[in-house]
Amino acid sequence: MVYGVDESSDLGSKITGVLAPSAQHIVTIFLSEGDNELPMEPVIRTIRVGLETPESSFHLRSLNSWVEHVASVIKFAEVCVRTRGYLG
């Protein structure tokens, strides 16, 4: 939201300016173009593990938690992709 609220390039002057330092930190960590791809590895691993079939559906609480975790990681990845569009 910080990057997509208005056309201003000065994040601090936007209505979401109070969130700008956190947004910049997340962008620096997850959308950097450096050689170190470590921050994305847990995201990709979580999605990959989420695609595996669980051994059992006996424990529904942990199965539901697992599904919610994977869904949250996919939503986070979607936000990262959208944010990359605002930066490009």
DSSP state of 47: H
Domain assignment of residue 39, yes or no:
yes
Question: What pLDDT was estimated at residue 88?
Answer: 67
Which structural domain range is residue 49 located in?
Answer: 11-87
Question: What pLDDT was estimated at residue 5?
Answer: 74
29 within 8 A of 41, measured Cβ to Cβ: no
52 within 8 A of 63, measured Cβ to Cβ: no
Question: What pLDDT was estimated at residue 37?
Answer: 58
Question: What pLDDT was estimated at residue 29?
Answer: 80
Question: What pLDDT was estimated at residue 58?
Answer: 67
Domain assignment of residue 6, yes or no:
no
How confident is the chain (88 residues) per 10-residue block, as mean pLDDT?
Answer: 75 82 84 67 79 69 80 88 80
Q: Please state the domain count of the chain.
A: 1
Question: What pLDDT was estimated at residue 62?
Answer: 74
